[in-house]
Amino acid sequence: MKLRQVQQLLGARVLCGERWLDTKEVATCFGSNMMSKVLARGKRQTILCTGLTNVQVIRTANMTELCAVVFVEDKLPKASVTEEAESWGLPLLATPLPLEDVCRLLDEAGLPSCDKGRAP
Amino acid sequence: MTDTLKLSYYCPGDDFDRAGEASAKVKKALQRLGVPPDVVRRVAIGTYEAELNVIIHAGGGTVTAEVSGESTLITVSDEGKGIPDIQAALQEGFSTAPEYARQMGFGAGMGLPNMMKCSDEFNIESTVGKGTVITMRFCHRSEDL
Ligand SMILES: Nc1ncnc2c1ncn2[C@@H]1O[C@H](COP(=O)(O)OP(=O)(O)OP(=O)(O)O)[C@@H](O)[C@H]1O
Ligand SMILES: [Mg+2]
């Protein structure tokens, strides 16, 4: 599905990367607050859903070439983090929903976890 | 490309916010040089893991990339405290990461195993009190994780 559908499904605010939402394709999601796991098991065409907002989150997403980051519970990164993500073409979204709800909604919409069968 | 291009970056250990800057530059350079995208991705992940380690565990270090037509060699070295038991450190789940790193999402003891997985050749040398040197070679034939 397109990133735009994810944004609508989660009622998410677009922090940056609005212009890529209609073109970027998403295949799986990865819900985690452990960047170590994302680095080891993240896949392309995956959105990272997380409650962390530090700059290492978006660097992790950039290195593993994830397609977007969704911050849960309306947690917002610093402006410098958003600017850096924008410079790499990495869209950032923020939703009021908690992580479990986000992962469930996405799974029901046909976007499974790319980390299935693993402990969270 | 017959020559070898060498890039070197110093990573200061006191600023966690800067962790990943060197890896991002290496990634950009490889993309510009036309290294296959899947290889670039593996180099980026392995280099970032090593860069995080020198910043979290060793008080800073140096990231060097040597790119030829056939392969990329990444060397990440530091003069930090060293690793007392390398075999233990290579096991998934082994971590001495401080609390601040855990709160940032790191410290699962997955970095060294991931470097081994990403690279085609991996070597680690460490002396307690002297420092650690990690080398990773990535062949430029396209192969995804
Ligand atoms: N450059 C280094 N200097 C000193 N100790 C190191 C260095 N690199 C790794 N270590 C030791 O090896 C352990 C395992 O490293 P590894 O990268 O696998 O896990 P981690 O950094 O603790 O957590 P993660 O990588 O999942 O965030 C570290 O916790 C640390 O004790
Ligand atoms: Mg590590």
User: Domain coordinates of chain A in residue numbers?
Assistant: 3-109
What CATH number does the domain containing B107 carry? Answer: 3.30.565.10
pLDDT tier at A119, thresholds 50, 70, 90 = very low
Handedness of CA B5, A59, A20, A23 (dihedral sign): positive
User: Using a CB-CB distance cutoff of 8 angstroms, which residues of chain A are in contact with residue B105?
Assistant: 32-36, 38, 50, 52, 54, 56-57, 60
Residue B133 lies in a domain: yes
- Mean pLDDT on A4-18: 97
What backbone torsions phi and psi does residue A39 show, to the nearest 5 degrees? -65, -35
The pLDDT score that the predictor gives to residue A116 is 65
Tell me how many domains chain B contains.
1
Residue B36 lies in a domain: yes
Report the predicted TM-score, pTM, of the whole model to 2 decimal places.
0.95
Residue B50 lies in a domain: yes
The pLDDT score that the predictor gives to residue B2 is 61
Q: Report how many Cβ contacts below 8 Å link chain A to chain B.
A: 68
For A34, the closest of B23, B108, B113 (CB atoms) is B108
| Half-sphere CA count of B27, side-chain side, radius 13 A | 23
pLDDT tier at A113, thresholds 50, 70, 90 = confident
- Mean pLDDT on A35-55: 96
Q: Which CATH class is domain A3-109?
A: alpha beta
Of B40, A120, B119, A12, nearest to A26 by C-alpha is A12
Residue B65 lies in a domain: yes
